[in-house]
């Protein structure tokens, strides 16, 4: 199953693209806040999903 990419907005205002099937923890490049972590092959998103990318 192909994953989806999300544009995630961190609480610090930084936006980053996160893959929904991420297998590694994704941290904000600005403030190091955790934006997503893998759970059963699917990323748990902690930031705000601004946009879903095809």
> Which residues of this chain interact with Zn ion, rule CB under 5 A?
10, 12, 14, 28, 30-31, 33
Closest approach of Zn ion to the CB of residue 36, in Å: 12
Q: Which is nearer to Zn ion, 1 or 30 (CB)?
A: 30
Q: Which is nearer to Zn ion, 25 or 41 (CB)?
A: 25
Query: Bridge partners of 42?
Result: 39
| Side-chain-facing half-sphere of 3: CA atoms under 13 Å | 14
Percentages (nearest 5) of helix, strand, coil residues in the chain: 0, 50, 50
Q: Which is nearer to Zn ion, 28 or 36 (CB)?
A: 28
């Amino acid at each position: 199953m192909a994953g989806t990419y999300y544009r995630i907005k961190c609480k610090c205002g930084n936006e980053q693209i996160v893959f929904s099937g991420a297998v590694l923890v994704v941290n904000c490049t600005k403030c190091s806040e955790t934006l997503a972590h893998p759970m059963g092959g699917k990323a748990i998103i902690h930031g705000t999903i601004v946009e879903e990318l095809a």
